[in-house]
């Protein structure tokens, strides 16, 4: 089957929440960010902006992951079974020791619907996630930074900017192999049949 490697890559990807301490070579990071920027976007506005946090910036960022946990903790305590709850709490406190955290932003445009702009950024994020997988890296996309977006904007000096935070992504070499999270079988509705 043509493109079988891509299908395998898509099936193999997991959200990774524990990373090896190994640094990611800069050319590898450049490649996955370039792949992100080849995503389709509404009106080809390429409205994504990526902030790549490494070293002391990544270390300083941890405090926001921890603050986000304080917002989400009451809900997750009820939703998750105890072992998963503890694992998740540790992830928020350490980000799984990921050496790189990427913050994805959207640049609003007067002629672009906000939802379309958001979708374009997520197209780029998915490219990045799959390119990372192809490089032997693991990632975890996180909506949780939105809980403390104003503080993160100040951290990046964006408090007077129009940019809107979309998500965070941890990146690093995986230190665990989580099982596949099950997929629901009923998410596709087929209408009619192709004419032969
Ligand atoms: C928009 C979005 C937001 C997410 N937010 C978080 C998050 O804040 N923290 C986290 O640990 N995982 C987060 N995830 C990862 C999901 O939990 C994960 O994709 C899902 O459980 C399926 O597992 P898999 O990615 O291993 O297939 C997020 C994923 C997406 C797409």
Structure tokens at 12: 């193999």
For residue range 16-68, what is the model confidence (pLDDT) as tens digits? 999 999 999 999 999 999 999 999 999 999 999 999 999 999 999 999 999 99
Name the more confident of 34 and 195: 34
Whether 51 and 102 have beta carbons less than 8 Å apart is answered as yes
Structure tokens at 28: 């590898």
Indicate if ligand 1 lies below 6 Å from the C-beta of 72.
no
pLDDT(6) > 90: yes
pLDDT(3) > 80: no
Indicate if ligand 1 lies below 6 Å from the C-beta of 142.
yes
For residue range 124-178, what is the model confidence (pLDDT) as tens digits? 999 999 999 999 999 999 999 999 999 999 999 999 999 999 999 999 999 999 9
For residue range 77-129, what is the model confidence (pLDDT) as tens digits? 999 999 999 999 999 999 999 999 999 999 999 999 999 999 999 999 999 99
- For position 110, what pLDDT does the model report? 95
Query: 147: CA distance to ligand 1 center in Å?
Result: 15
Indicate if ligand 1 lies below 6 Å from the C-beta of 15.
yes
- For position 194, what pLDDT does the model report? 86
Indicate if ligand 1 lies below 6 Å from the C-beta of 90.
no
- For position 4, what pLDDT does the model report? 81
Say which residues have a Cβ less than 8 Å from residue 81's Cβ, sequence separation at least 6. none
Indicate if ligand 1 lies below 6 Å from the C-beta of 91.
yes
The domains located in the chain, with CATH, are: 19-172 (3.40.109.10)
Q: What is the mean pLDDT of residues 173-196?
A: 94
Q: Which pairing describes strands 48-53 and 138-142: parallel, antiparallel, or unpaired? A: unpaired
pTM over 0.75? The answer is: yes
Q: Whose CA is nearest to atom 12 of ligand 1?
A: 142
Query: 87: CA distance to ligand 1 center in Å?
Result: 14
How many Å separate Cα 175 from the centre of its chain?
A: 18
Indicate if ligand 1 lies below 6 Å from the C-beta of 146.
no
Ligand 1, from 12, 18, 65, 140: best to mutate by most atoms within 8 Å of Cβ? 140
The closest alpha carbon to 39, from 150, 147, 124, belongs to 124
pLDDT bracket for residue 1 (50, 70, 90): low
| Other CB atoms within 10 A of residue 4 CB | 8
Indicate if ligand 1 lies below 6 Å from the C-beta of 75.
no
């Amino acid at each position: 089957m043509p493109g079988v490697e891509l299908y395998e890559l898509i099936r193999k990807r997991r959200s990774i929440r524990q990373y090896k301490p190994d640094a990611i070579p800069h050319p590898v990071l450049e490649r996955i960010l370039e792949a992100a920027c080849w995503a389709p976007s509404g009106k080809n506005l390429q409205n994504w902006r990526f902030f790549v946090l490494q070293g002391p910036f990544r270390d300083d960022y941890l405090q926001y992951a921890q603050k986000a946990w304080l917002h989400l903790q009451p809900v997750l305590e009820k939703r998750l079974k105890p072992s998963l709850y503890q694992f998740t709490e540790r992830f928020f406190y350490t980000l799984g020791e990921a050496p790189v955290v990427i913050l994805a932003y959207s640049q609003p445009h007067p002629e672009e619907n906000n939802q379309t702009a958001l979708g374009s950024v997520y197209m780029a994020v998915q490219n990045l996630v799959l390119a990372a997988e192809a490089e032997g890296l693991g990632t975890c996309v996180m909506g949780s930074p939105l809980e403390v977006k104003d503080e993160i904007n100040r951290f990046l000096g964006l408090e007077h900017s129009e940019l809107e935070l979309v998500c965070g992504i941890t990146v690093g070499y995986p230190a665990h192999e989580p099982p596949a999270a099950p997929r629901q079988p009923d998410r596709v509705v087929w209408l009619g049949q192709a004419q032969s």
